Amino acid sequence: MSQLKKNDHPGLPVSVVTGGAGFLGSHLVDYLLEQGHRVIAIDNLVTGDVDNISHHAGDERFRFIKQDVTEFLFLEGPVDYVWHFASPASPVDYAELPIQTLKVGSLGTHKTLGLAKHKGARFLLASTSEVYGDPLVHPQKEDYWGNVNPIGPRGCYDEAKRFAEAMTVAYSREHGVETRIVRIFNTYGPRMRLHDGRVVPAFMSQALKSLPLTVYGEGGQTRSFCFCNDLIDGIFRLMMSSVEGPVNIGNTHEMKIKDFAEEIIRISGSKSSIHYCPLPADDPQQRQPDITRARRELGWEPKTQLADGLRITIGYFKKKLSGIEPEGLKKCN
C-alpha cells in the first residue's frame, strides 16, 4: 500500500479508520476517498481482509497499517477524524475471540480516543444495536438502556460496546473531545465473510449451494436489514453533524427470520428448503431501530429496497463461491 507522507495532498481532511479492512470499515474507506479525504486504515486482519482495500493500492491518498489498535497508536502529521470500527462483529467471531473482543472495545477505544485527543480530531464510535440486548422496548430508541446479560454468550460483545460508549462520553466530558456514537443495526452487503456466522452470509451461501437454510427456533424472531451503502452515508452524515448523543442507523423494515430465509431462496432462485435448529441462548427476539433522530437531525433514511440490496449481495457471494464444492449441512449444536 502507498505511504501517506506528512505533506501529501495538503488541505485534504485526514481520516483514520480502525478496522479499515473489515466489511463496513472498507466501505467507509471507499466512501471517504470519494469524498476527498486522505485515509489511514488500521487493521490487524484477525477478521478483516486486505483484499477489501487492495483496489486502493497506488493511491497516494491512502495508507494501510497492519496493527492491533489495543497497542499504542503513533501517527505523524495531522488527523481530522478518527472512525473506530475495529471489533469482531459476529456471534462466531466473538464466541471464538471473547477476550480480544473485550480488549478492542475497552483498550482499543481508549487508544483511539487518546489519538483523537492528541490530534484534536473528531471521534466516531461504531457501536451496535447489541447494546439494547434482548430488548423489552420495541422499536428501540436511543434513550432505552437495554436488557443485556453481561455473562451470557453474547456478553463479551454487548458489554464491550457499552463500555466503549461510556468511555467515549467520558472523553467528551473530561477532555472536550468531539465525539459521535452510531448504533448500527443489522447491515448486509458485499465483502461480508462467507462463514462469519451472521444470518445474511449464512443464508446466502446455503442457498447458493442448494443446502437447507438454517433457521433457529421457529423463525419468528425479527430483524431489520440495512444495505451497507445506506448505512455508510448515514454514518458520514453523523460525523459531519453536531449531534453528540447516540444515533440509531438502520432500516425500519422489520421481518421474521423465516420470511427473510424464504426471500433469499426466492431471489437466488434456489431450491433449498428450511432446516430448523434450537434457538441459541440470549438470541434477541425483536430488533428494529427507531430512526426518528437520524431523520430529524441528519436528514437520513435508507433508500435501498431489500430485494435490490439482496440481489447485489447475492451476486457478490456467487463470485466468492465460484469453484467451491458444497459442504454438508452444519450440524446443530
* Cell numbers linked to 186: 443489522
How far does CA 218 lie from the centroid of its chain? 27
Asked whether the domain spanning 189-223+253-284+304-321 has the same topology as the one spanning 14-187+228-249, the reply is no
CATH superfamily of the domain spanning 14-187+228-249: NAD(P)-binding Rossmann-like Domain (3.40.50.720)
Inform me whether the pLDDT recorded for 200 exceeds 50. Answer: yes
* Cell numbers linked to 140: 428501540
**189-223+253-284+304-321 classified as CATH 3.90.25.10:** yes
Bridge partners of 40?
Answer: 16, 63
Q: What SS3 class is residue 183?
A: strand
Inform me whether the pLDDT recorded for 3 exceeds 50. Answer: no
DSSP per residue, 90-158: SHHHHHH-HHHHHHHHHHHHHHHHHHHHHHT-EEEEEEEGGGGBS-SSSSBPTT---B--TTSTTHHHH
**272-281: string of b/e by CB count within 10 Å (b at 16+)?**
bebeeeeeee
Question: Is residue 171 among the annotated active site residues?
Answer: no
Inform me whether the pLDDT recorded for 185 exceeds 80. Answer: yes
Burial of 259 (0-12, 13-18, 19+ CB in 10 A): exposed
Catalytic residue among 157, 171, 276, 316: 157
Inform me whether the pLDDT recorded for 329 exceeds 70. Answer: no
Q: What are phi and psi of 267, to 5 degrees?
A: -70, -35
pLDDT of residue 94: 86
What mean pLDDT comes out for the span 73-81?
95
Bridge partners of 227?
Answer: 188
pLDDT of residue 90: 86
CA 40/CA 220 separation, integer angstroms:
42
List CB contacts of 203: < 8 A, sequence separation 6 or more: 213, 260, 261, 264
Domain ranges within the chain, ordered by starting residue: 14-187+228-249, 189-223+253-284+304-321
Q: Does residue 222 contact residue 284 with C-beta atoms inside 8 Å?
A: no
pLDDT of residue 325: 46
Q: What SS3 class is residue 226?
A: strand
Bridge partners of 216?
Answer: 277
CA 184/CA 231 separation, integer angstroms:
8
CA 197/CA 188 separation, integer angstroms:
13
Residue holding cell 481508549? 110
Residue holding cell 477524524? 81
CB atoms within 10 A of CB 28: 27
How far does CA 275 lie from the centroid of its chain? 27
pLDDT of residue 282: 64
Inform me whether the pLDDT recorded for 33 exceeds 70. Answer: yes
Each residue's pLDDT tens digit, 83-106: 999 999 888 888 899 999 999 999
